[in-house]
Amino acid sequence: MSTAQFVPLRFNWKTGLLAPGLLLITSSSVFAHNIEKHFKVEPRSVVTIHNPSGKVVVKAWTKSEVMVIATHTSDKVEVDAEQTGNRVDVMTHQISNSISPEDLRADYQINVPEDAELQIHDDSGEVSVANVLGDMNVETVGAGVDLEDAAGYLTVRTVGGSFQCIRCAGRLEVSSISGSFKLLSLRSYHVHAQTSKGNILFDGEFLPNGIYRLKNYSGVIEVHFSPGDSFDLSATSLKGKVNSQASLTPPAHAHPVYSKFGNAILGTFNAGHAKVELSSFDGTINILKRE
């Protein structure tokens, strides 16, 4: 069911006047290629985006339709957007063997239904997703990833890109090597965040029966809590420091292995409904009262 259609971008009179002049002084390759495509989809559609370089912005809307607007400047790449059943695949293709990183760049603005599932691969650039409630898998090398008001099962993997998640819910698994994470106003029942060199800031709710695992090699892990929160805490830094402002009830049984090595704080805050595990190799762990 392909209802894809090419829609020319709106004519802008300023651009219209400027374009002939620019044509005289620039080569054709610097002109932006703009593509807009629309696809009708059923509930729970899947959208895959594969872009080696550039900005990918995805927003949810109320229509049962996926809209893809792509922009690229080079003739050495082309953009494909195709529908197979309830899946829409968006991809930047390299059509020349010799291509510079700048030529590879393509930017996307994509609108999807709220319940869409996303699979995004963007090596460098930036990924931004807002209001999408379906499951999501994002993989990048250097591109930073920003999620806002996302839910579902969220998995994010970067190599050096940072990650920020604001008001996310559901289940979150994020890993990186040198990227830092900011998890703000989170309402997730399962968080597993691991980076090697980056910092991790967690400022969210500890839901009953939730599991929150934050881990790094070096850098700072900072967790904010409120007086009404309830969690079991295990915070260990093998070679670094652990600072806590939480008044904890000591555990009935000391942790058999980890507390022997490094610096560790173990205990229960209020009734211990959630489980919070923080660990670092030689970084600092701060457990701070929310201001």
Sites of contact with other proteins (CB under 8 A): 52-53, 101, 123-124, 141-142, 159-160, 177-178, 194, 196-197, 217, 236, 238-239, 257-258, 260-262, 279, 281-282
Q: Which of 194, 244 has the CB closer to other proteins?
A: 194
Element (H, E) at 100: none
Q: State in angstroms the smallest separation of the CB of 236 from other proteins.
A: 7
Of 154, 158, 186, 187, residue with least CA distance to 173: 154
Q: State in angstroms the smallest separation of the CB of 84 from other proteins.
A: 24
Cβ atoms of 268 and 255 within 8 Å: the answer is no
Q: Which of 239, 289 has the CB closer to other proteins?
A: 239
Q: State in angstroms the smallest separation of the CB of 218 from other proteins.
A: 8
Cβ atoms of 191 and 202 within 8 Å: the answer is yes
Q: What is the largest CA-CA distance in the chain?
A: 79
Q: What is the dihedral of CA 243, 245, 250, 256, to 10 degrees?
A: -20
Q: State in angstroms the smallest separation of the CB of 99 from other proteins.
A: 10
Q: Which of 149, 282 has the CB closer to other proteins?
A: 282
Whole-number Å distance between alpha carbons of 172 and 186: 10
Residue type, 94: Q
Q: Which of 207, 221 has the CB closer to other proteins?
A: 221
Q: Which of 238, 288 has the CB closer to other proteins?
A: 238
Q: State in angstroms the smallest separation of the CB of 51 from other proteins.
A: 12
